[in-house]
Amino acid sequence: MRVEKMNERDRNDPPGADRDTVIVRTSLVGVAVNLVLAGIKAAVGLAAHSIAVVLDAVNNLSDALSSVITIVGTRLSGKLPDKKHPLGYGRVEYLSATVVAALVLYAGLTALYESVKRIAAPETSAYTVVSLVMIGLAVAAKLVLGRYVKKQGEAVGSDSLRASGTDALSDAILSASVLACALIQTLTGLSLEAYVGAVIAVFIIRAGIGIIRETISEILGQRTDTELSQRVKELVCREDGVYGAYDLFLNNYGPGRYYGSVNIEVADSAAAAEIDRMARHIKGRVYHKTGVTLTGIGVYSRNTTDPAIVRLREEIERCVLARDEVLQVYGFDFPEGGSEVHFYVVLNFGLDYKTELAKITADLNALYPGVRFKLAPHIDISD
């Protein structure tokens, strides 16, 4: 199970109940199929004394449990906001992901332990034609399930379902390797299944670690998805009278639930009523196209009436952006008609902001000795 990001940026409606319904319905299908496969493989594995098949059954059982927790997390995260949690319960899904990760890791470590025991003390497995056919059918079922779940995940923009679908396809490959080992042993007497069981265990452990890493990253607060941030900025700049969108800051409150703010640049001649109209249009457009709720829109004023200041701003932009460490320059203010200039600079991470700003200021002072420059750093929080 993984946290989710918006994938379909051009949908006319924000994520909601329909999306949750698809996730739950698809997860229920996954639970049913994985439980059936786990039962079949467990029976075949115990009858044939095959550790690889038994561990493959454990893998299916952990997948079913993951789907159950996905369903529970989706239902809990869909609770309506209340006074105690006014932004909803969407982050519950991250907690459920942590539970899944713990269960997956436990299953993987147990599987690895049993596989190593079997490698140290080998046992001969005895497969029948029926058991081989059952394993083959299980491989086919996993392939069909993987394609179905992944397709549903793409349709609703759910990383949980996409990851589950990819995981199911990977499981099909592992099950196919178990089948191959069974055929090799049946035909040649060579037993490789304990080693295949160890490989399966490593895959399970790796999946658990991946879930933990991604969940912790989401809880800590990670960089907004590039596609989403660029889409939001493009929608903001589509508004007539907006020269640029800056400082986009999005807070994630569960899969597909973003609240944030952005600053726009408008002409210095724009009236308050006009800016208010722009902000209302922008908020509505962004919400209906991406599901992102913009709770605030700040304003930078661009001088468009004084040709000398316009030219000065363009020259400063070219000069500062020529430095590789500078990502953006914006928010120009000329409080004394050009003899003093204020603006913001976005620098690469890992730099000493104070030192870099001093270098930029020195370059500008050399070009414009009669102008006082005041630069302020801004964080590179979105693409």
Length of the chain: 383
193 and 159, same domain (yes or no): yes
6 within domain boundaries: no
* This model's pTM is above 0.75: no
Higher pLDDT pick, 255 / 227: 227
Is residue 6 within 8 Å of residue 157, measured between CB atoms?
A: yes
Of 175, 197, 220, the domain-final residue: 220
Assess contact for 56 and 45: CB atoms under 8 A. yes
Question: What pLDDT score was predicted for residue 13?
Answer: 41
DSSP summary character for residue 255? T
Question: Among 152, 187, 220, where does a domain finish?
Answer: 220
Q: What is the pLDDT of residue 268?
A: 92
Phi-psi label, residue 189: left if phi above 0, alpha if psi -120 to 50, beta otherwise? left
- Are 49 and 154 within one domain? yes
- Do 256 and 174 belong to one domain? no
Indicate whether 12 belongs to any domain.
no
| Amino acid making up residue 354 | K
What is the percent of the chain where pLDDT is above 90?
A: 34
Cβ burial of 154 (10 Å; 0-12, 13-18, 19+) is middle
- CA atoms within a 13 Å half-sphere pointing along the CA-CB vector of 136: 10
pLDDT one-digit tens code per residue, 352-380: 989 999 999 999 999 999 899 999 998 88
- Does residue 113 belong to any structural domain of this protein? yes
For residues 80 and 173, the answer to whether their CB atoms sit within 8 Å is no
pLDDT (0 to 100) of residue 91: 78
Residues in CB range of 340: below 8 A, 6 or more apart = 334, 371, 372, 373, 374
Domain extent, residue 316, equals 226-378
Tens of pLDDT, residues 163-214? 777 778 777 877 887 788 888 888 887 777 778 778 878 887 887 888 788 8
Residue 2 inside a domain? The answer is: no
Is residue 142 situated within a structural domain? yes
d(CA 83, CA 320) in angstroms, rounded, equals 47
Supply 176's token pair. 């196919």
Same domain, 161 and 263: no
Assess whether 355 and 233 both reside in one domain: yes
Contacts of 349 (CB under 8 A, 6+ apart): 380
Evaluate whether residue 87 is within a structural domain. Answer: yes
More confident residue, 124 or 234: 234
H/E segment holding residue 80: none
Same domain, 197 and 237: no
Q: Are residues 72 and 122 in the same domain?
A: yes
Which comes out higher in pLDDT, residue 175 or 263? 263
pLDDT at 10: 38
Which pLDDT does position 335 carry in this prediction?
86
Query: pLDDT digits over 16-60, tens only?
Result: 557 778 888 888 998 999 999 999 988 888 888 787 788 788 878
| pLDDT tens, position by position, 24-35 | 888 899 899 999
Count of the separate structural domains present in the chain: 2
Residue 4 lies in a domain: no
Same domain, 244 and 296: yes
Q: Ramachandran region of residue 295, left (φ > 0), alpha (ψ -120 to 50) or beta?
A: alpha
Tell me: pLDDT of 4 over 50: no
Which of residues 202, 220, 238 is at a domain's end?
220
- Which pLDDT score, from 0 to 100, does residue 101 have? 77
83 in the same domain as 197: yes
Given a cut of 60, whether residue 6 has pLDDT beyond it is no
The answer as to whether 192 is a domain residue is: yes
Phi/psi of residue 124, each to 5°?
-85, 130
Contact present, 363 and 318 (Cβ < 8 Å): no
Q: Residues 135, 230: one domain?
A: no
